[in-house]
Amino acid sequence: MGGDSQQNWVLMVTAQTPTNIAVIKYWGKRDETLILPVNDSISVTLDPNHLCTTTTVAVSPSFQQDRMWLNGKEISLSGGRFQSCLREIRARACEVEDNKKGIKITKEDWGKFHIHIASYNNFPTAAGLASSAAGFACLVYALGKLMNVKEDESQLSAIARQGSGSACRSLFGGFVKWIMGKEENGSDSLAVQLADEKHWDDLVIVIAVVSSRQKETSSTSGMRESVETSLLLQHRAKEVVPKRILKMEEAIRNRDFASFSQLTCTDSNQFHAVCLDTSPPIFYMNDTSHRIISIVEKWNRSEEAPQVAYTFDAGPNAVLIARNRKAATLLIQRLLYYFPPNSDDLNSYIIGDKSIAKDAGINGIPDIETLPPPPEIKDNIPSQKYKGEVSYFICTRPGRGPVLLSDESQALLNSENGLPK
């Protein structure tokens, strides 16, 4: 074989990884570089059909440097978090042989060869949904496959954790716990699956992407300020979360929605209380977020048992978890009643699993305009509406963990030159 053909090959792998939403929140680090948390957290993985990151990683002797493209734009890999993930995964790389292509990469080669990474989110980054969680999980998962890393998902999660804390929970589908760990080197701070996505498949998730003008404090700096100034955070991490984690695990095990929703809502509210207890205070929720909480609380209290749980991360978007499909259709009716769209395009106002809106009898804008007020407010003063406060809704459900995409047409890099397609 000529030297040229040996230098021109490109080997690549494409993977798809979901995002996740915490129902017991991670907020606060005990080690900033290793990203070690002050408490355990629990999350639900969201269906990657609606929210996910796709990443292609490639290696070739012809690459001059490590490069990365995010949503088509080249970004810098010089940040410490990228470097930690690349270093940790390279340290575990094993020999790779592709007989068909006549490629052999030894353990030592991985230290010399450069890689190209292209990543794409199937949801708008501007929506403020946790894109770093799916992103770092996908980067680590895809590189692990490319470099024939033998570690299991939990061990990979401890690497993804060093990219972004919440990313470690995206290595699994269903319900996931990030165990905070005790070791100083972080080796036992990793994610484990509590139950897969089939365990509790009645649940339906509706995300209200709330319009907001202001740029929020990033999670990273927000939690740093909370650790430095909030006494409530200390109390939460030491006394509250450990007990709550046990109760949440039990609620998930027993599919006990009443307990699940009570714990989820309380924990979200305590996280935002910690933000208020931070000096200077951090406000992630806005008036629209508060309205959504009131609507859900009022409805839940008018029923015999809770129908919907709410949770909010470091921004105003509401993640609403309905106990089943019936509750989800009643939820969508309520949300559309209070938050009619600004435009007349229903198709872009409800995205994801559109069948839930159809079940709720919503097939067009006129169906929204004629929705009756929810019965739980019938004795009150005619309720106000808040047109335009929600940008759009995403209907989804709990979903599976990372997968490889073996069809080369789904790759984001060109197999000839390793550059974005």
The residues that touch ligand DP6, with contacts defined as CB under 6 A, are 22, 25-27, 35, 41, 130, 132, 164-166, 219-220, 313-314
> How far is C-alpha 282 from the chain's CA centre?
21
C-beta of 14 vs 43, nearer to ligand DP6: 43
> How far is C-alpha 14 from the chain's CA centre?
19
Give CA separation, 81 vs 78, 93, 149, 175, 194, in Å: 8, 19, 19, 25, 27
Give CA separation, 269 vs 79, 264, 291, 314, in Å: 32, 9, 14, 12
Distance CA 136, CA 130 (A): 11
Closest CB to ligand DP6: residue number? 165
C-beta of 84 vs 219, nearer to ligand DP6: 219
Residue 369, judged by CB atoms within 10 A of its CB (0-12, 13-18, 19+), counts as exposed
C-beta of 165 vs 181, nearer to ligand DP6: 165
C-beta of 14 vs 189, nearer to ligand DP6: 189
Closest Cα to residue 50, out of 408, 407, 393, 404?
Answer: 393
Per the CB < 8 A criterion, the answer to whether 400 and 370 are in contact is: no
Q: Any idea which residue has 């292609």 for tokens?
A: 56
The distance of closest approach from Cβ of residue 132 to ligand DP6 in the complex, given in angstroms and rounded to an integer, is 5
Closest Cα to residue 117, out of 85, 139, 90?
Answer: 139
The distance of closest approach from Cβ of residue 165 to ligand DP6 in the complex, given in angstroms and rounded to an integer, is 3
The distance of closest approach from Cβ of residue 309 to ligand DP6 in the complex, given in angstroms and rounded to an integer, is 15
C-beta of 116 vs 161, nearer to ligand DP6: 161
- Bridge pairing between strands 11-18 and 36-37: unpaired
The distance of closest approach from Cβ of residue 239 to ligand DP6 in the complex, given in angstroms and rounded to an integer, is 19
C-beta of 220 vs 266, nearer to ligand DP6: 220
